[in-house]
Amino acid sequence: MFKLISLLAFCASLFSAELQPRPYALVLQEIGKGQTVMVEAGSTKCNACKEMGALLYHEMELNPKRKIFFVNVAEERSAARAMKIQMIPTQIVYDPQGREIDRHIGGFTTDALKQFLAKNKI
């Protein structure tokens, strides 16, 4: 019985795992440091954002060297203004020099996210 409960708890944790918010000030320190960076702007209360967080978490597990960050713009309104967020979720890609090179508004399917990451060399 204990093994069954442990297995169920483990399975539940897999489905609830999502990218955790990081303060915008710390994310800014990662941009322009010689590596492409993707910022997911969203909210911890938005269902589409939660789905994106789970997809991004999975992608980070596949390649932990990726620079993908989640900023909770519902709590950091100044970050939303600075990144010019109009809707959430929004994904912004910065090149190694820190210039914005791509932006997508809305969620992705798993395949579309993989294509977006590959296109932007993340």
- Does residue 47 sit within a domain? yes
pLDDT at residue 15 greater than cutoff 80: no
Q: According to the model, what pLDDT value does residue 18 have? A: 87
Residue 17 confidence class, pLDDT cut points 50, 70, 90 = confident
Q: According to the model, what pLDDT value does residue 28 have? A: 98
- Does residue 82 sit within a domain? yes
Q: According to the model, what pLDDT value does residue 14 have? A: 45
Q: How many domains does the chain have?
A: 1
- Does residue 6 sit within a domain? no
Report the distance separating Cα 77 and Cα 111, nearest Å: 31
- Does residue 102 sit within a domain? yes
CATH classification at residue 62: 3.40.30.10
Residue 10 confidence class, pLDDT cut points 50, 70, 90 = very low
Report the distance separating Cα 109 and Cα 28, nearest Å: 27
Burial of 86 (0-12, 13-18, 19+ CB in 10 A): exposed
Residue listed under structure tokens 């060297």: 65
Mean pLDDT of 84-97: 98
Residue 67 belongs to domain spanning? 18-119
Express each pLDDT in 52-86 by its tens digit: 999 999 999 999 999 999 999 999 999 999 999 99
